[in-house]
Amino acid sequence: MSKKKTFESIPLREQIKPIFKERFTQMLGKKEYDKFVDTILKPQRKSFRINEIKSVDVKKTITEIKKKGIILSPVLWCKNAFFAEYNENTRTDLGNLYEHFLGQIYVQEATSMCPVEAMNFPNSIPHSFKVLDMAAAPGSKTTQIGEKLNNKGTLIANELSYKRISALKINLERSGLTNVLITINDARKIEGEEEFDRIILDAPCSGSGVIRKSPNTIKRYNPKQLKSMQKLQLQLLTRAFKLLKKGGEMTYSTCSLDPEEDELCIMKFLESQNNAKLETIKLKGLVLNNKLKEFSGIKIPKEIQEKTIRIWPQDNDTNGFFLCKITK
């Protein structure tokens, strides 16, 4: 007697909801949608960047990692960052490397490196220079900013969840950062006006871009939640912009590919802020295809199409990501 097929035993491809297929086919077309699904159902490539605060000799660090049999290929849009290619004969759990424990490397998804790489930092960081990471834990972008600042100026790492502070603190300490202050606050309630030279807002989102990392996301996919997510994201964007100094830069990013959290969210934000300017982002080696021109009958302004970054997983063999840079 054959056993009844359980939900858990059904291949993930067969669990894709019709609404998911409908929305992403609308964005990509049938042929490109198939490439998209083929990519997101594969495990993500592991990646890391070298932390020059702790790694005195970058070339030596790379050599020592390669000696372990790990095959490296460069992350083209981030200096001293690498993919650890799959090798059936070698363990590639980067978090267990000696170099990780020493803080010489930081394990980070390659698209997550983009917001900090998109920012401009002075060659010489003044003592008064202030940077805010509005949603900091577990610390990937915070530590990346810290390296750019070379422990100069002041870096505020804000996090809402007290439970996530421990991981943030450990990662900051391991990375050798000494100019960071941790705050626990709802980022929408951070007080002040025109306080910061740079702000990173990696906003809470639905996570539709990180299915390779969290496959169960595809089972939970529910576009009905996008309206409330966009409301939160706009509140965070508005507060971030008030905290930004005139002439300052801020980035807004999500690990979502849903337009409501990305282009359409930025469209609403720009309509509400007369002195907000969208800046062009150039990241060398990053392939950017299938820019979104419209969605569900809503036309996306040409400026938003051209100046924001939408990273599709199939184009760079990464997770999905959205990014824009705004100046005041």
- Catalogue the active-site residues: 255
Please, are residues 96 and 61 in contact by the beta-carbon 8 Å criterion? no
Q: Give CA separation, 86 vs 17, 39, 195, in Å.
A: 30, 15, 44
Pairwise CA distance, residues 61 & 99, whole Å: 8
Pairwise CA distance, residues 144 & 50, whole Å: 10
Which pair of tokens denotes residue 292?
A: 């979104």
Please, are residues 35 and 27 in contact by the beta-carbon 8 Å criterion? no
Angle at 30 between CA 24 and CA 31, to 5 degrees: 120
Pairwise CA distance, residues 285 & 323, whole Å: 16
Please, are residues 109 and 213 in contact by the beta-carbon 8 Å criterion? yes
CA-based max dimension of the chain: 74
Kindly compute the dihedral angle of the four CA atoms of residues 31, 36, 39, 44, in this order, to the nearest 10 degrees. Answer: 170
What type of residue is 21?
Answer: K
Which pair of tokens denotes residue 321?
A: 């990501």
